[in-house]
Amino acid sequence: MNVNILVWLGNKDMHPAIYPNMQSLAAGIADMGHNVITCNTAEPEEIRAALSLLRENQIIDLSIGVNAMGMHIKYSDDQIVDVYADLDVPHISILLDEPFNPYCNGYADAARYHIVTYLDRTDKEYFSRMDLSVDKYKMFMPLGGTVSGLSLEELLERKKQSSYEVVFSAGAFGDIRQGPEWEKFGVLPSHYMLNMLEDIVYLLQNEPLSVVAAADKVLAARGMAEDNYFQAAAYYFPAILCYIKGWRRRKLVAELLRNGIALDIFGDGWEVADLPHGAKLHGAIAYEGMLQVMAEAKVVVNDEAVFNDGAHDRVFTAMLNGAVVVSEYSAYLAEEFVQNRDIFMFGWQDIGEQLQVIPHLLSDDGYREGIVCSAYGRTINRHTWRHRAERLLEAAELTKFSRDMRAGKI
């Protein structure tokens, strides 16, 4: 049965990946035969039209946006409307980062019928232990990969003429020289609490764990497995997240360069980083431009942005654009792909040794192309935005069935 689905696209002034990714999601839904209505949130007329379809005409069966997109409409400084607070239309919020990232919102906003997706499987525990979003329906869903429009054969041919061998695409993410800025998001920790927090950071610098998993491990070792201890530690998760993202990215780039692997870096902030010789800095570029780079790159190196039981979408996008992915370890990726056949992964203690596969990938075209073909086949069948669209609609249907059962309608 075809349904009417509203997709809040965001706009091009937001994070550069939001608008094109939501366009890809909308296209995936349309490919399934559903009626898709899109809304560019920079266009007041489109917002008014979307609200009319939702609230007056009531023809929308499902709506989707990232974070809190579409959930609040500001008519004036003193008039902000909670769009879904009194609507039974199911709305899906696709979270773009960890729920404890202060800039990631939507999971606690007012909505009668609300599904929230998260990017790392340990986020389920975070929501539960923090008593957050208890009235929401939640599901684990990494973002989808973006296809290039080229065939695999065309991608392989393009790479033969490319000047991009090893590419890293991510911002430097903050100043890590002084350690975590504990007071940035709240009060300074006390002496004993600081010892515990520093142990969490140390663990994250040595093991490929998510912030939640690292906190669990440190607290359990102290005999503090109860939720109240976790909740106290979680107050400082934003500061830990901000620090460890930058630390891991700089560590990865430095190890690549120290091992003699020349690197093309795309992203802002690297011009002020103290990097060994061998890095070519390109700065931040538009999402469409980054897709072209990945379509030419032979190897894409990836940090997981602490999604160590989830995945960053650049893994799937790189594979769909014919690049071999060398990624920070993720338990989820280890289940989805065969290591050393579809993907190569590294940890933080023996990273230098594990990165030595890259020169081999660059020197042996046949070996590299075999990896590309295997990963591409897996990803094109499981990890495009079309597949994410299928999961979202499946979740909406199952949730409706569950609600109807509890209401005695079935």
User: What pLDDT score does 356 carry?
Assistant: 96
More confident residue, 81 or 182: 182
Average pLDDT, integer, range 207-232: 98
Does residue 74 have a pLDDT over 80? no
pLDDT tens digits, 329-385: 999 999 999 999 999 999 999 899 999 999 999 999 999 999 999 999 999 999 999
pLDDT tens string 311-324: 999 999 999 999 99
Q: Is the pLDDT of residue 235 over 90?
A: yes
Whether the pLDDT of residue 177 is over 80: the answer is no
Binning pLDDT at 50, 70 and 90, where does residue 73 land? confident
Residues of 333-363 as b/e, b for ≥16 C-beta within 10 angstroms?
beebbeeeebbbbbebeebeebbebbeebbe
CA-based nearest residue to 148, from 327, 316, 389, 341:
316
What value does the mean pLDDT take over residues 47-63?
95
* Contact between residue 291 and residue 23 where contact means Cβ atoms under 8 Å apart: no
Is residue 385 within 8 A of residue 27, CB to CB? The reply is yes
Q: Which residue has the higher pLDDT, 230 or 275?
A: 230
Q: For residue 371, what pLDDT is reported?
A: 99
Domains and CATH numbers, the chain: 4-144+385-406 (3.40.50.2000), 152-380 (3.40.50.2000)
Q: Which residues 6+ apart lie within 8 Å of 172 measured at CB?
A: 246, 249, 250, 267, 268, 269, 270, 272, 273
In this structure, the chain runs to a length of 410
Residues 323, 166: contact at Cβ < 8 Å?
A: no
Residue 173 confidence (pLDDT) above 80: no
Answering whether pTM is above 0.85, one says yes
pLDDT score of 176 more than 70:
no
Q: DSSP string covering 238-276, please?
A: HHHHHHHHHHHHHHHHHHHHHTT--EEEESSSGGGS---
Helix (H, G, I), strand (E, B) or coil at 155: helix
* Contact by Cβ (8 Å): 246, 175: yes
51-55, 69-73, 261-265: range with lowest mean pLDDT? 69-73
Mean pLDDT of 260-281: 91
Residues 23-37 have pLDDT tens digits of 999 999 999 999 999
- Which stretches within 52-86 are classed as H helix? none
Distance from C-alpha of 230 to C-alpha of 311, rounded to nearest angstrom? 24
Residues 6 or more apart in contact with residue 100 via CB below 8 angstroms? 126, 211, 234, 237, 238, 241
Which pLDDT score is estimated for 148? Answer: 86
The pLDDT assigned to 164 comes to 97
**Dist. CA 340–CA 234, nearest whole Å:** 35
pLDDT of residue 185: 87
Mean pLDDT, the chain, integer:
95
Confidence band, pLDDT 50/70/90 cuts, at residue 168: very high
Q: Output the DSSP codes for 93-138.
A: EE--S-TTSTT---TTS--SSEEEEESBTTHHHHHHHTT-STTSEE
Q: Do residues 348 and 206 touch, judged by C-beta distance below 8 A?
A: yes
Give the span between the Cα atoms of 22 and 236, in whole angstroms. 31
Structure tokens at 166: 């090893």
How far apart (Å, rounded) are the C-alpha atoms in residues 330 and 189? 30
Q: Residue 117 pLDDT more than 70?
A: yes
Q: What is the pLDDT of residue 175?
A: 67
To the nearest 10 degrees (0 to 180), the angle between helices 211-221 and 191-206 is 120
